[in-house]
Amino acid sequence: MSDHADGREEEALDHIASALELSRQYRYDRIFADEGQRMFKLLKLYRKKRCSVQKDLYLEQLISMAEKTAALHPRYLKSQLPKQTALTDTEMRVLRLLSDYKTNAEISEITGMAEETAKKHCKHIIAKLEVSNRYQAVEKAVELGLLEPKKMKA
């Protein structure tokens, strides 16, 4: 999975092929099923790029098991932030302010950085979290455990 996260797709698919061969022989099904969204995506990519027209029933079973596990444990299929895209301390501070619905101007005033710098940090956060806007960035950060969910005021 780390090869895939590092952008080495072909190496990742080669490793999956080897692991699938061993798993077929020794029935290491749960190892695949329990690995979360990255493995789920990787198995689907493997199916798309490496499987022939004929369905691989064992592979389909592993993908199905991963989906069932996800239904029981929703965080299993949630993305994790790859190590190379970890947020900086400043980006985390800006993200916390975004979670309080602060504008770029307010972030600038609170942190002492220029408004354009605050805007640039927001853009970096959005790109790293692979979302489209600041609200989705906050939702994704909560999902990934980077931020605590906000409690509703009574």
pLDDT at residue 32, as a whole number: 84
**81 neighbors 128 (Cβ within 8 angstroms):** yes
Per-residue CA distances from 66 to 93, 124, 138 (Å): 35, 31, 26
Question: Tens digit of pLDDT for each residue in 5-18?
Answer: 567 889 989 999 99
Q: What is the CATH number of domain 83-143?
A: 1.10.10.10
Report the candidate in 90, 84, 78 with the shortest Cα–Cα distance to residue 141.
Answer: 78
Question: Tens digit of pLDDT for each residue in 68-91?
Answer: 776 677 655 455 555 556 899 999
Positions of CATH 1.10.10.10 in the chain: 83-143
pLDDT at residue 118, as a whole number: 97
Q: Which of the pair, 99 or 83, is modelled with greater confidence? A: 99
pLDDT at residue 30, as a whole number: 87
Question: Tens digit of pLDDT for each residue in 89-98?
Answer: 999 999 999 9
